[in-house]
Every structure is written in C-alpha cells, then in structure tokens.
Amino acid sequence: MTNPTTSGHSAFSAPQENEELSDIEIVCVECGQVFVWCVEEQIFFRDKGLKNPPKRCATCKKRKNERIEAILALQKKHPKGKIEVAVYCAKCGVFTTVPFYPIQGKPVYCRSCFLAMNPDLLKPAS
C-alpha cells in the first residue's frame, strides 16, 4: 500500500499565487485617511499591468475624476486652453476668475493678492 499523501497528483497543478496577497492599508495622499487596498483590486491592478498602488481613497479618487472631468469639459468649451473658473479670493474675499481649475483644499487668490505674496514675479527677469 502506498502512502496516500504522495499518491500521484501534483501539488503544483493549480498555482495559487493570489493566496500570497492580503489587504494592504494605504494612507490617502489627499485626505490622509487610511484605506484598504483589497486583494481583488490588487489582482485587478496586476492584470492591468499597473505596478504602483493607488494613492487615493475611493472618495478622493472619485473627486479627482470629477475634477478632471470638469477640467476636460472646460477645455472643450475653451479649445485654446483658456479656462476661467469663478472663485473667491482666499485672502481678500474678492470675487474673481482664475485661468486654472483650483486644486481641492488649496487656497486660491486673486491676481493682486497673488502678486503681493509673490513679489518676485513682478521683477523683470535679468
């Protein structure tokens, strides 16, 4: 009688490399919250050939995509690349427009406040 544990079938018939994966906790670069990069998504990333783990949590990723969509929509409206976004200056509170789409959480200033804070921009290049 042969030993039943070595009776023929190979242990390597079905490679289970997914078993090495486990959920990874990542700190979102945008909001600082810890989110879980689950195994299913890791497999999805690997299947797509993506090597870098995600940087943003699902909420921020969605927000970022919405921002990109808004920028693309604006660029469609202004094919020359000129966009105008209405904002309130974070310093003096004046209502103004800026030629770029503000980054979430970053203050936006009107032109005079911006120049006041960056006086070097007014100096002629030498």
Contact positions vs Zn ion (CB under 5 A): 28, 30-31, 57, 60, 89, 91-92, 94, 110, 113
In degrees to the nearest 10, what's the CA dihedral of 9, 10, 11, 15? -120
The distance of closest approach from Cβ of residue 89 to Zn ion in the complex, given in angstroms and rounded to an integer, is: 3
* 60 sits in which H/E element: helix 58-77
State the nearest-atom distance from the C-beta of 107 to Zn ion, in Å: 10
User: Which residue's CB is nearer to Zn ion, number 18 or number 33?
Assistant: 33
DSSP bridge partners of 85: 98
Cβ nearer to Zn ion, comparing 63 with 75: 63
**If residue 69 lies in a helix (H) or strand (E), which one and from where to where?**
helix 58-77
Judge contact between 106 and 89, C-beta under 8 A: no
Q: Supply the minimum distance, in Å, between the C-beta of residue 94 and Zn ion.
A: 5
Q: How far is the CB of 59 from Zn ion (least distance, A)?
A: 5
122 phi and psi angles, rounded to 5 deg: -85, -20
Q: Which is nearer to Zn ion, 42 or 89 (CB)?
A: 89
Tokens 């497999």, residue located: 43
